[in-house]
Amino acid sequence: MLLYDAPRAPNPRRVRIFLAEKGVDLPTREVDLMALEHMESDYARINPLRAVPALVLDDGSVLTESVAICRYIEWLHPDPPLFGRGVREQAFVEMWQRRMEFALFLPVAFAFRHSHPRMAVLERPQFPDFAEAQRSRAVEAMRYLDVELSDRAFVSGDAFTIADITAYVALELTKLARIGIPEDLPNLARWRASIGARPSVAL
């Protein structure tokens, strides 16, 4: 297998954290997003939708979409389970992963893409007013998550899962998206510190 990776982008980071939690090491090839290498025809043959990461399987087929790649890795390396144990728990992990993706990750990513000068070449045109509205959405999601985290250690329950990865990577992107994380969210802060201390995240 070969993983097309981009060191500073949020989606490849989700996959890297996931792999590190699994203790799985994959050969990688770096795609230079700032040089727009993913917009060139060579990469379009890997992923016509031009997104990174992409995982080339041993039979040459290409699996894209971070969460699909992670789930495939989960099947190859079931321990520790990062998509939940058993059917019921897996359903709720998927719910939380998607809640974090749509309520938090997406607003933060949109705020970044529609306001950061470096994104002007990719997001054409940018809509700064839309970015600003997304900032409020993201903060709303943080307040909601803070309440949820009042009675448990992780986003989806008492175990670290893909939902924590999605939420954590979203918060990491807040700086570039110019979103302030409110200081009156103690559960969110405690959770964030505990995730940030994991070796997989420190890498």
- The DSSP 8-state label assigned to residue 53 in this structure reads -
CB of 97 to a second copy, least distance (A): 8
* Cα 70 from Cα 82, distance rounded (Å): 9
For residue 201, how far is the Cα from the chain centroid?
Answer: 12
CB of 196 to a second copy, least distance (A): 25
Among positions 1, 26, 65, 187, the unique one binding a second copy when judged by CB under 8 A? 65
CB of 74 to a second copy, least distance (A): 10
Per CB under 8 A, 127 contacts a second copy: yes
* Cα 123 from Cα 125, distance rounded (Å): 6
Q: Quick check: helix, strand or coil at residue 131? A: helix
Per CB under 8 A, 72 contacts a second copy: yes
Per CB under 8 A, 75 contacts a second copy: yes
Which residues from 27-56 bind a second copy, rule CB under 8 A?
48-49
Our CB check for a second copy shows the closer of 86 and 199 to be: 86
Of 161, 51, 142, 20, the C-alpha closest to 97 is: 161
Per CB under 8 A, 60 contacts a second copy: no
Q: In what order do the strands lie in the sheet with 2-5?
A: 28-30, 2-5, 54-56, 62-64
Which residues from 89-108 bind a second copy, rule CB under 8 A?
90-92, 94-95, 98-99, 103
